[in-house]
Amino acid sequence: MNSIATLLSILAPVIVIPMAVLTFYLRSMRDIHTLHYKACMRRMESLEASTLELRRQVAAWQRDFTSKEEWLRECMHARKRIEHWSEITSRLEANMASVLHKSATPIEDNDA
């Protein structure tokens, strides 16, 4: 029993010290990775905001410099899309009304 305790007291520093160093090393790597990730995310958010602002400016510039014919063509296209969506909505409402009407009618019992 005494020899096992002696052996453990000799081997403990050999195992504990490298494990402690490894633990601190991995923790510092995790912290550095977290800092780099946060910095990268801030840059990405900044890039996204800049891209959105650039899109807005380009759209405004295009709107300012479009000809009357192009503007009318775009308006007609938008009107057609709105009419298309209103037709789809009307069909959906009709289908929903027929389904609700069918579910509201009592089921006839043909077995009687």
User: Rounded to whole angstroms, how far apart are CA atoms 32 and 72?
Assistant: 56
User: Rounded to whole angstroms, how far apart are CA atoms 73 and 68?
Assistant: 9
Give residue limits of the domains in the chain: 1-65, 67-103
The first and second tokens of residue 14, run together, are 């050999």
What values do phi and psi take at 108, rounded to 5? -80, 140
**Model-level pTM?**
0.44
Per-residue pLDDT of the chain (112 residues; tens, 9 = 90+): 788 888 888 888 888 899 999 999 999 999 999 999 999 999 999 999 999 999 999 988 887 777 888 888 889 999 999 999 999 999 999 999 888 888 766 656 555 4
What values do phi and psi take at 107, rounded to 5? -85, 125
